[in-house]
A and B are shown apart, each in its own frame.
Chain A
Amino acid sequence: MKVLVAVKRVVDYNVKVRPKADGSGVELNNLKMSINPFCEIAVEEAVRLKEKGIATEIIVVSIGSQQAQEQIRTSLALGADRGILIKTDQELEPLAIAKCLKVICDQESPDVVLMGKQSIDGDNNQTGQMLGALTGYPQGTFASELTVDAGKASVTREIDGGSQTISLVLPAIVTTDLRLNEPRYASLPNIMKAKKKPIDETTPEALGVDTSPRVSILKVEPPATRAAGIKVASVDELLDKLRNEAKVIG
């Protein structure tokens, strides 16, 4: 069984980003970049499927600049078998990304496509669902548990107020939530081995995908800040403020 994992290169989750001075975009120069945390969970889940003897091959695909190769290498070091880099210096929207991935699905015919539920830069939470529409594959989004057996995937999903379990006919798309697993660290021997694993390169143009943007960013700005509050000295003072000043409790 073949597993395709899509990964994204993003600003590391520990870095606090700022808008550029002119508000035209986000300041990304010289920031630490990493694999999107949800994507890392997707890679880990694929590796676990392989360790259980369910998956036989893991292909990891990323769309981005030449440097996105680093995130593919990271995934190869975690246990993926080969990589595909869809090279572009344009910041693609989820629809264009889903269209690229659809072509890769047509070429590779994976049984399971694993990807993060969202990237921590755009926070769109769309690509998996859109790939589902384009391929016709069913989708198990926000997965906290996955079992694959007899041509079906059982996915437990994190939903508002609890969890839901659905059964999907393969091939299927699964997008990962935080609690699906805890990714391992790559060992040094595996990092060395990953350097020898193959990475194919292509481009959106070569895949025949129109990447013209549909949404333009007019402005970015920091969120409204809250006015500084006060420190109270005691529970009595706190309750008095809440009752008589803020009037939020009776």
Chain B
Amino acid sequence: MSILVIAEHDNSSLKAATLNAVTAAQAIGGEITVLVAGSGCGDVATAAAKILGVNKVLVADNPAYEHRLAENLAPLIAELVSGYSHVLAPATTTGKNIVPRAAALLDVQPISDIMTVESADTFKRPIYAGNIIATVKSTDAIKVMTVRTTAFDAASEEGGSASIESIDNGHDSGTSTFVGEELAVSERPELTSAKIVISGGRGMASSENFQLLEKVADKLGAAIGASRAAVDAGFVPNDMQVGQTGKIVAPELYIAVGISGAIQHLAGMKDSKVIVAINKDEEAPIFQVADYGLVADLFDVLPEVETKL
């Protein structure tokens, strides 16, 4: 078997999500090739070649791929795919945007968000917001899929020595143009890769009160998340939302503060290793998934935690 993994990157650095996808590829087994498509992305290719378990890196360095627009990348992937048995990408917003478009060009029904590899053609994936896990088997000649990054460990970034090969190929559909982007800048670790996440819900009561969480987060080196209720109430921006429709996280420690635990929030965090819930309502569903629950007023608890850390 021969597997093509689509690298996630920003032209200057390789994103950690790629490492999880490589681990999923290793679980399938076979030769692993990583595709780095971008513009001025030589450093990314060098980094990809060092991933343990990667055999080859293909670099498509072309201005058309600078912003990884689906219209340009999908035909590139479709063209490269002959000779591969599997195409994998991390289930990031970039992967989800590009992979189905490439699959349709190949007349393949892709599989989204795989959580386990049962065999080379059979995988488990969540449906119904993670309330059901389906075991699915693909009958397409090429298996195309996205990988739920929290379900696979990261491959080692060191120890590999893959060959790097350039592809001279530029697809520019001319139908889509990048205008700009606004990325949240934070001193804190990124939500989806942080070892500790502390999230606030409607119980935080205001935007200002999130400072209480920030103080604790700073002491723990944690990322800050929020429930959809807190986002909808306007306490925090939507990129902080943890849940089925927001970010899926699985840190070592997840601390839910003033979060009741709606199904859609649980779907985004219940794979965390250790879950702590702090809520003054002892009936809150969040306690059913928490390893440690503290029934108390968060406005008393947070300052106390901060002092005692």
Contact = CB atoms under 8 A, between A and B. Distances in A.
A173 to B, nearest CB: 10
Nearest to A175: B97
Given A95-B108, A216-B136, A133 B74 contact: yes
Interface stretch (B22-30, B159-167, B285-293): B285-293
Interface in A205-250: 213-223, 226, 228-236, 238-239, 241-242, 246, 248-249
B120 interface: no
A121 B134 contact: no
B275 A93 contact: no
A215 B139 contact: yes
B113 A123 contact: yes
Contacts of B263: 16
A116 to B, nearest CB: 11
Contact of B140 (A157, A214, A218, A231): A214
Given A215-B109, A235-B301, A138 B175 contact: yes
Taking residues whose C-beta sits less than 8 angstroms from the other chain, chain B's interface range is: 35 or more
B94 A160 contact: yes
A201 to B, nearest CB: 26
B207 interface: no
A95 B111 CA distance: 11
Contacts of B134: 217, 219-220
Given A231-B287, A235-B304, A217 B276 contact: no
B175 A168 contact: yes
Contacts of A93: 109
Contacts of A220: 127, 132-135
A165 B132 contact: no
B53 interface: no
A183 to B, nearest CB: 14
A162 B239 contact: yes
A123 B127 contact: yes
A103 interface: no
B196 interface: yes
A215 B309 contact: no
Taking residues whose C-beta sits less than 8 angstroms from the other chain, chain A's interface range is: 35 or more
Contact of B96 (A125, A144, A169, A241): A125
Determine the main DSSP class of A at the interface with B. Answer: mixed
A217 to B, nearest CB: 5
A228 B309 contact: no
Contacts of B113: 123
Contact of A242 (B74, B253, B287): B253
A159 B181 contact: yes
A164 B290 contact: no
Given A139-B97, A163-B181, A214 B109 contact: yes
A145 to B, nearest CB: 11
A249 B103 CA distance: 43
Contact of B292 (A26, A139, A226, A229): A229
Interface in A148-188: 154, 157-169, 172, 177-179
Contacts of B96: 125, 129, 141
A134 interface: yes
Nearest to A126: B100
Interface stretch (B39-47, B55-63, B81-89, B182-190): B182-190
A-B pairs, top 6 by smallest CB distance, nearest first, are A133-B104, A130-B104, A214-B109, A129-B100, A126-B100, A162-B183
28 contacts: A16-B263, A18-B132, A26-B127, A26-B132, A95-B107, A121-B128, A126-B100, A129-B97, A130-B104, A138-B176, A139-B71, A139-B97, A141-B97, A142-B93, A160-B192, A160-B247, A163-B182, A164-B181, A165-B181, A215-B137, A216-B137, A221-B132, A222-B132, A222-B133, A231-B292, A236-B308, A248-B253, A248-B274
